[in-house]
Amino acid sequence: MIAVQGVQGQKVAVLGLGRSGLATARALVAGGAEPLLWDDSPEARAKAEAEGFTCHDLTRNAAFEGVAALVVSPGIPHLYPAPNPVIARAMDLGVPVDNDIGLFFRSLSTPEWDNFDTVPRVICVTGSNGKSTTTALIHHILAEAGRPTQMAGNIGRGVLDIDPPGEGEVIVLELSSYQTDLARALTPDVAVFTNLSPDHLDRHAGMGGYFAAKRRLFAEGGPDRAVIGVDEVEGRYLANQLAQGAGDDRVIRISSGQKLDAFGWSVFARKGFLAEWRHGRQIASIDLREVKGLPGAHNHQNACAAYAAVRSLGLAPRQIEAALHSFGGLPHRSQLVGERGGVRFVNDSKATNVDSAAKALQAFPRIRWIAGGMGKDGGIAALQPFLGSVVKAYLIGHSARDFALQIGQTPHEICETMDRAVARAAEEAQAGEVVLLAPAAASFDQYPNFEKRGEDFTARVRALIG
């Protein structure tokens, strides 16, 4: 674990006892602090107490006496739509509020690094869609190239739960807007911005606040290299803000669809081919069409982001290309579950919003589409331009009937449950078609999270195809 520095002998309150909260508590103890733990859930408190921790009710008036800081788990609101009462009390008393990401960055470097010929590096990935795939792909490429590497953050382990990095090691972190918004320290060596689309807007009081939370990783983090997706106006703005001019190769612009040949350094994908350009000259190209773990234009953008990040660390294009072909993809993100009679079954349960569902719908030519769940604000009317590849929709969950009204003339069937949707789609699918789970909705009406929804789809498909 990463022992938290600068907390020796201090009382540090920890609010939220999920994965990151418990990892924070352990790291605080390792750093010589006394953690005061609290969670509104009795089950979470019991789990912490089973590890030997003592819980302290942070809702009491005197709870913050002698407390040096409050560390907050990412799921707990600290500003919008309203601060959690414990956080509000800490702010009223002037107690610094931080999260595990802030503790990580202030504690990562140690005196041992003075003896390293090559110090560890940190790559951070943020954005709306593609963060997890890009993070995992960077980690995979590094590992395949023989570089020591660990992956953590919003994927895998909590950041304070990783091993102290050794010489030349690369830490790859996926960071959500919840994590970048509150961290008091952000100092990545390479920062990646994939894209931006509406999500978590209640938590950030709109798109401006959402983008501002992402932007902190770059504006306040001061990375040596910034990899910026410029397919949205926010990315173009961010790249412009960071670069001293078009030729500034500290900013690597990436795109899926645009030709970017007028900048100091760019990586883009068009018609299935990735191209790297530097100072007006193409220096590498990779055919992505046969990379099975990265189907569709959205995954080609992820490939561009990962390519740019590891190129900035000195990896060769041939090393990267070989690693792309061995990448199996992530569960619930354009994951090929199986095939029967020429019909492929793809699990993209992570496609919980309209933008990510649109990208999934553009990845395949003929789709039997399983969609629905707990619909988000605005529904799925915005998906109309992307339904041309849908042979038929099989709608499930709370929003099934609302979705049916929003998909126009697209053939559909109200299935309500995953069991029936998989069975009906498999029964009707023809060779060359894809049965695609891309819900465009949250899972909470029928499942505790998108992972469980994807696991249900996967289990039913595998039972069906044998």
Q: Residues within the annotated binding site? A: 127-133
pLDDT confidence tier of residue 420, bands split at 50, 70 and 90: very high
Q: What is the pTM of this model?
A: 0.87
Query: Which domains does the chain possess?
Result: 11-98 (3.40.50.720), 105-325 (3.40.1190.10), 335-465 (3.90.190.20)
pLDDT confidence tier of residue 186, bands split at 50, 70 and 90: very high
Maximum alpha-carbon separation in the chain: 68
Q: CA nearest 309: which of 77, 140, 60?
A: 140
Q: How many CB atoms lie within 10 A of CB 83?
A: 18
Distance separating alpha carbons of residues 464 and 429, to the nearest angstrom: 13
Q: Is the pLDDT of residue 303 over 90?
A: yes
Which 3-state string (H, E, C) describes 396-432? ECCCHHHHHHHCCCCCEEEEECHHHHHHHHHHHCCCC
- Digit-coded pLDDT (tens) for 57-111: 999 989 999 999 999 999 899 999 999 999 999 999 999 999 999 999 999 999 9
Confidence (pLDDT) at 104? 98
Reading the block at residue 439, the tokens are: 């819900």
Q: Residues within the annotated binding site for ATP? A: 127-133
Distance separating alpha carbons of residues 261 and 255, to the nearest angstrom: 11
